[in-house]
Amino acid sequence: MVDATNAAEFSRVDVAAITKTFKLQDRIFFFMTLASAALVVLMLLAILVVLVIDAIPTFQTYGLSFLWGTVWSAPTEKFGAVPAVMGTLISSLIAMLIAVPLSFGIAIFLTELCPGSLRRPIGTAIELLAGVPSIIYGIVGLFVLVPLMQLYILPFLIATVGQVPVIGYLFQPPAPGVGLLTASLVLAIMILPFITAITRDVFLTVPPMLRESAYGMGMTTWEVARNILIPYTRRGLVGGVMLGLGRALGETMAVTFVVGSVTRLQASIISPSTTISAQIANTFGEADGLQLSSLIALGLLLFILSFCVLALAKWMIGRSDTL
Amino acid sequence: MNLIRKFAVGAAAAALSITLAGASFAADITGAGSSFINPVLSKWAEGYKAATSNTVNYQSVGSGAGIKQLLAKTVVFGATDKPMSDGDLEKNGLAQFPMISGGIVVTYNIDGVKPGELVFDGETLSGIFLGKITKWDDAALKKLNPDVKLPSTPISVVYRADGSGTTFNFTNYLSKVSPEWKEKVGSDTAVQWPVGFGAKGSEGVSTTVAQTAGSISYVEYSYVVANKMGFSKMKNAAGKIVEPKLDTFAAAASNADWKGAKNFNVMITNQAGDNTWPIAASTWVVLYKQPTDKALNQGALDFFKWAYEKGQKDATTLNYVAVPEAVAKVVMESWNKDFAAK
């Protein structure tokens, strides 16, 4: 009896002590995780502050006309953002036009139609594609894709689509192989695995009951994809697409190799052009003074652009929730 | 996972640079800048270490980045392909002197035309890069090359996409021979080219020229030799046709008026002399006149003295041209005046 009371008392004291330690541990853990989270926000703000401060000379010199200036010339100290911004937007847009339908196709095949034995190899291949460093895409693009474009694809495009009124303006020479379209193709291959992986994963979250009921109603695979899979997973799909777009906007190394680095503004999408990140990568090392400031201003624009893309994605996800 | 990997690499790099920086405090002479001078400077550093057991650590990060590091005082000396202006030197208390010269050559890829066969002069070259001469069988090119069968194919201009001293010197030459170029385009490490497209680095340029029929570009001579690329001859300021080789580069370096120029600010493009290669380039070394660590600065000067006196052979083997002896003498005399810590 005495022993039992003692034991109970002992254990009560022990529990209190343990609870105290646990509470302390939890507090420490809370502050550590809070600090980690705060660090991310602080870093983001720090980057923004540095970009803004270093971009000030540019906006002092050119004002807002930097945003619609079309010349980028270091010797005459004239800097405008339009060619690089346009190049970034157009190459990302074309890459998305190619990559999104392809990714959806791959994901539908993998989740709905693929024989079980093929599912793993194809899935692994896509994951491997995501792991290839971007410099490899750049080198393969330069050595393999550029000659193909130069000798076969671009002349064909000029001879066919280039002759069509209006649209033809987008397919005019010079087309030396490097250029916006080549960069877009490389970008499309690079963002494909990201969009595909997410699309496949969200398609797999569709409850089997929904899917099977649809098939049971006599729907074709296309109808299931169109009316069940895509509406059910809209949120995740938008997220995946936006992740791909974010990557396409900022991709540097591979694009720098194949975009052709021309800072003149041109209508043709098969001609050499430049992008924000390629422009920065090319000239940052040797730039000083106003040129350096203008490059940082370009970086700031890319930062804002990426932020807008993310904000748009969040907004679209929020909107699709209420539907 | 990607983020984590990037973070780990960054942390490792930071840790490494901290250890390197710690080590360099011992006695290493650190420098950063021009990639043009890097091969020969590395070779000199090797020889200097063997001779004196002093270590010279050079980072080939590009001229502009080298000057930035010098201004941030993270290195003892900077090396640049673009001489600093008198104002910038004075403002920051710096002194500069030439360390090496070399040549830039025009390279092309035309069906049926052999390497070394074509001749250009300043006017046609600027015409091509301005976009006024667009076909290989243009009258101006035919006149310069009466014996070469030139095809009627379009000219593809290829240039360095990244900012580089090579571009600075090449556009400096075009500005000297063509008032139109000077006015419309100008000269810098990167310019807005009226025609053509860019390729990244010397490697990118050589690959692109090899892939593109009818293309023309410019690269450093040492790169052409190493990669056995095709090159052209040039008609120089004296109206003579010269081949790119060490003799003609040396002629450019010795015909320039180094002694008369303030801060040795002389571009050796388009120099006089019958045997002068017109597109020659130099690299300058930049140091603080009143450094925080006088011993290290002196160490760097000792190294450059050694390079002036013993480094010519290394320069020649690597297809560079050493600074002419007479000029080296003037440079070393200027040190007595410029660097108080003698």
Single-letter residue type at A12: R
Count of A-B CB contacts under 8 Å: 98
What pLDDT, on the 0 to 100 scale, is given for residue A36? Answer: 95
- Residue B277 to chain A, least CA–CA distance (Å): 25
What pLDDT, on the 0 to 100 scale, is given for residue A7? Answer: 59
Cβ separation A261–B211 shorter than 8 A: no
**Alpha-carbon gap, residue B24 to B75, rounded angstroms:** 10
pLDDT band at B74 (very low <50, low <70, confident <90, very high): very high
| Partners of residue B67 in chain A, C-beta under 8 Å | 288
Residue B81 has pLDDT above 70, yes or no: yes
CA dihedral for B112, B118, B124, B129, sign (positive or negative): positive
Cβ separation A262–B197 shorter than 8 A: yes
Cα separation values, B226 from A29, A187, B218, B219, B311, Å: 59, 33, 15, 12, 20
| Partners of residue B192 in chain A, C-beta under 8 Å | 71-74, 263-264
Residue B105 has pLDDT above 70, yes or no: yes
Cβ separation A282–B161 shorter than 8 A: yes
Q: What share of chain A has pLDDT > 90, as a percent?
A: 54
Q: Which of A35-44, A163-172, B47-56, B117-126 has the lowest mean pLDDT?
A: A163-172
Question: For residue A76, what is the nearest residue in chain B, using CA coordinates?
Answer: B186
What pLDDT, on the 0 to 100 scale, is given for residue A168? Answer: 86
Count of residues making up chain A: 323
Could you tell me the pTM of the whole model?
0.84
* % helix, strand, coil for chain B, step of 5: 45, 20, 35
Cβ separation B189–A147 shorter than 8 A: no
**With contact defined as beta carbons under 8 Å apart, do B318 and B220 qualify?**
no
Residue B26 has pLDDT above 80, yes or no: no
Q: Which residues of B275-299 are buried (b: 16+ CB within 10 A; e: fewer)?
A: ebbbbbbbbbbbbbbebeeeebbbb
Q: What integer is the mean pLDDT of B226-244?
A: 89
Per-residue tokens: B223? 């790169």
Per-residue tokens: A187? 């970008």
Q: Rounded to the nearest 10 degrees, how much is the dihedral formed by the CA atoms of A150, A151, A157, A160?
A: 150
Question: For residue A263, what is the nearest residue in chain B, using CA coordinates?
Answer: B192
Residue B155 has pLDDT above 50, yes or no: yes
Residues of chain A with confidence (pLDDT) below 70:
1-13, 319-323
Question: For residue A131, what is the nearest residue in chain B, using CA coordinates?
Answer: B2
Per DSSP, what are the bridge partners of residue B120?
B234
Task: Compare CB distances from A282 to B162, B186, B196 and report the shortest one's residue.
Answer: B162
What pLDDT, on the 0 to 100 scale, is given for residue B340? Answer: 62
What pLDDT, on the 0 to 100 scale, is given for residue A6? Answer: 60
Cβ separation B186–A142 shorter than 8 A: no
pLDDT band at B1 (very low <50, low <70, confident <90, very high): very low
**Alpha-carbon gap, residue A173 to A177, rounded angstroms:** 10
Cβ separation B63–A174 shorter than 8 A: no
Q: Determine the distance from the C-alpha atom of residue B59 to the mean position of all C-alpha atoms in its chain, rounded to a whole number.
A: 16
- Select from B191, B158, B172, B126 the least CA-distant residue to B266: B172
Cα three-residue angle B40-B45-B50, rounded to 5 degrees: 130
pLDDT band at B154 (very low <50, low <70, confident <90, very high): very high
Task: Compare CB distances from B189 to A142, A146, A286 and report the shortest one's residue.
Answer: A286
- pLDDT, tens only, A235-251: 889 888 998 999 999 99
Cβ separation B197–A178 shorter than 8 A: yes
Burial (CB count within 10 angstroms: exposed 0-12, middle 13-18, buried 19+), residue A287 = buried
Residue B307 has pLDDT above 80, yes or no: yes
**Alpha-carbon gap, residue B306 to B54, rounded angstroms:** 12
Cβ separation A73–B191 shorter than 8 A: yes
B241: phi then psi, degrees, rounded to nearest 5 = -90, 125
